[in-house]
Amino acid sequence: MGSSSNGVAPNNNVDKGVDYANYFCTYAFLYHQKEMLSDRVRMEAYYNAIFQNKHHFTGKTVLDVGTGSGILAIWSAQAGAKKVYAVEATKMAEHARELVKTNGVEHVVEVIEGSMEDITLPEKVDVIISEWMGYFLLRESMFDSVLCARDRWLNPDGIMYPSHARMWVAPIRSGLVDQKKIDYDRTMDDWSHFVDETKTFYGVDMGSLTKPFTDEQRKYYLETSLWNNLHPNQVIGKPAVIKEIDCLTATVNDILSLQANISSIITAENTRFCGFGGWFDVHFRGRKENPAKHEIELTTAPSEDLGTHWGQQVFLLYPSIRVSQGDNMSVNFLMNRSKENHRLLEVEFDCELRQSSGKSLQSFSKKFYIE
């Protein structure tokens, strides 16, 4: 929705100026806010979660982490909150204040410009609401700031909105795998011509840069995940949950590194296994002692007509592998934050494919970058 802070994990030394230039500045533009506000799946999930569960907001104190345009703070006030603190790290806070005033809730909503880790509130809150989810849930690391807010400012009986989250992966088929390989081959052919012409016409041999250029382009075309809105019929096997998060109890250490052993059975007949699709869902359940009257789900799973701006992350495998219905895959999934930029992710899939008879089909290990 917006941005709240540097999202820095414990003991990470991240320059805030660099972090702002690389990440936060994007959220200071209205065009970016408009993209998120135009996502109907996202908007309706939060709207319904708030207004179908007014008992969580009426007469309560609310903290909106990364308020962005301020819409969640405005809805919280309209649902009956007695006070809403709307924290935003960028100059978007100025626009949020204007919208709060325009919508007549300035007596309830206080917009605070600053990072969540640095600001101080005058009181504890009953509800923390935030749209913190990035691509494949955890890209951007904004959840760190939500956890910081929870640990500092949430009352012992307080509620998190959303309350739970899950990450999913599934085997997919996609024509993109062929196109990306074609694009990579063309790029390398172009480099070869460039090296020849530079030496012929200018007398400089660029050949010693071929290996680093190859590594760079291979990472870009063949090892970096892609944003895509998959159609459900592109999912060729049973999806599996790789991580479940309880936002009331999770810690930063719980999400610094993820590891899961999963399996999936191929459900499509005689098709190509082209890689994996990854997505997430979040739920608004309240808490055990104070549950939601109407539980709401926001899902970014492949859909025919309910795509979101998050889409899915697609991890393409080249060459693709021919599989049949009933084939089984066992996958060891590992995800870590990038050492160069804590907001980006690195993912590894170690996969073993077996035919329905139990005969080994193929094994592979592949690393991807979510950038």
Give 251-256 contacts, CB < 8 A, sequence gap 24+: 251/147, 252/9, 252/10, 252/144, 252/147, 253/10, 255/138, 255/143, 256/9, 256/336, 256/337
Q: What is the 3-state secondary structure (H, E, C) of 117-135?
A: CCCCCCCCEEEEECCCCEC
Using DSSP's 3-state secondary structure scheme, residue 99 falls into: helix
**Which superfamily does 16-131 belong to?**
Vaccinia Virus protein VP39 (3.40.50.150)
Range(s) for CATH 2.70.160.11 in the chain?
Answer: 167-173+226-370
Backbone angles phi, psi at 159, to 5 degrees: -125, 140
Q: Is 216 helix (H, G, I), strand (E, B) or coil?
A: helix
Strand 109-113 and strand 83-88: pairing? parallel
CA distances from 164 to 75, 182, 283 (A): 21, 40, 5
Could you report the per-residue pLDDT of 148-175, keeping only the tens digit for each?
999 999 999 999 999 999 999 999 999 9
Which residue is catalytic, options 44, 98, 117, 131?
A: 131
**Options 113, 140, 297, 304, the catalytic residue:** 140
The whole-angstrom separation of Cα 146 and Cα 245 is 13
pLDDT at 141: 80
140 flagged as catalytic: yes
pLDDT at 14: 60
For the record, the structure tokens of 266 come out as: 């191929």
pLDDT at 154: 98
Q: Which CATH superfamily hosts domain 167-173+226-370?
A: Hnrnp arginine n-methyltransferase1 (2.70.160.11)
End-to-end, the C-alpha distance of the chain in Å comes to 19
* pLDDT tens digit sequence for 14-29: 655 555 445 555 667 8
CB 312 within 8 A of CB 249: no
Give yes or no for a contact between 159 and 271, defined as CB atoms under 8 angstroms apart. no
User: What are the strands, taking DSSP E only, across the chain?
Assistant: 61-65, 83-88, 109-113, 125-129, 154-161, 164-172, 226-228, 240-246, 257-265, 271-287, 290-299, 312-323, 328-337, 345-354, 360-370
| 197 carries an active-site annotation | no
Kindly report the number of other CB atoms within 10 A of residue 270's CB atom.
9
pLDDT score at 21:
45
Q: Could you give the residue range(s) of every CATH 3.40.50.150 domain in the chain?
A: 16-131
Contact 195, 207 (CB under 8 A): yes
Distances (CA, A) of 279 to 91, 95, 172, 321: 30, 31, 12, 22
What is the structure's pLDDT at 9?
Answer: 40
Residues in the chain predicted with pLDDT less than 70, given as ranges, are 1-27
